[in-house]
Each structure stands twice: as C-alpha cells, then as structure tokens.
Amino acid sequence: MIILKEPFSYEKFVKVKTIDDIKNTPSNSTLIFDYCDSSLNVFEFCKNNNIPYGVNINSIKELIFISNLNAKYAFADNIENAKIFQKIANEYLLDTKIIVYVNSLDEIEKIAPLGIDGVKLKENK
C-alpha cells in the first residue's frame, strides 16, 4: 500500500489548473488537478511532457480517461468510490494508482483489506 505522507513518501504535490500553472511549479512536483472535461488537453500536455500528475475523480469514465492520458494517481474522496475504481483498475491492469483520501492513517486498518492502492491525508488534498 502506498502512503503519500512523510516519512513514507517525500513526494511534493502542487494543485494546479492550467498549463501556465504547470510552468510555474517546481520541476520535482507531482501535480494535482480536479477533473474537468475541458482539462483533457492539460492532462495530454502532462502526458506528452512526462509530468507526473494525479486527478481528483468522481466517476469510472473519468478514471478511464485519465488513465489513458497516463495519470500517475486517481484520487477518490471516499472508500466506496475507491473500491469501484480499484476494481476497474485491476480488471484493466491500469498503471494509474487508486488513492483514497483519509482523515487519519488509522483508516489504513479498514482500507488495506480492500486492496486499494494507497492513501493520502485529506489535509494535503
């Protein structure tokens, strides 16, 4: 299970919206977007420039789209969505990792048995 929090991960996340925002972020950052159909060109820009990014998603369609555009992470706000997304990711052998936002790392106890790829604290959302 991936734990996106120090000391388990030192990955730096930066929330962005546009290509101009991307150009103003540190080069070693992983970008986070909120899903929007109009952002598909921004995700394509990240794919074409090998920029790691994750997207806050709410549907299977969004997962499929961002996975096809090489998103590193798909972030889910709740366990129920994360379970559905993980099933799809496993079925289609997606490279995109399913990450569920949690309030506390204590939630790992109930998330790990579900096979969800990882967790990230909501405060760092």
* pLDDT at residue 51, rounded to an integer: 97
Domain boundaries defined on the chain: 2-124
Measured distance CA(24)–CA(106) in Å, rounded: 35
* pTM for the predicted model, two decimal places: 0.95
Domain 2-124: which CATH number of 3.40.50.1110, 3.30.70.330, 3.20.20.70, 3.40.50.1370: 3.20.20.70
Tell me how far the alpha carbon of residue 6 is from its chain's centroid.
17
* pLDDT at residue 32, rounded to an integer: 97
* pLDDT at residue 123, rounded to an integer: 74
Measured distance CA(95)–CA(82) in Å, rounded: 15
Q: What residues of the chain score a pLDDT lower than 50?
A: none
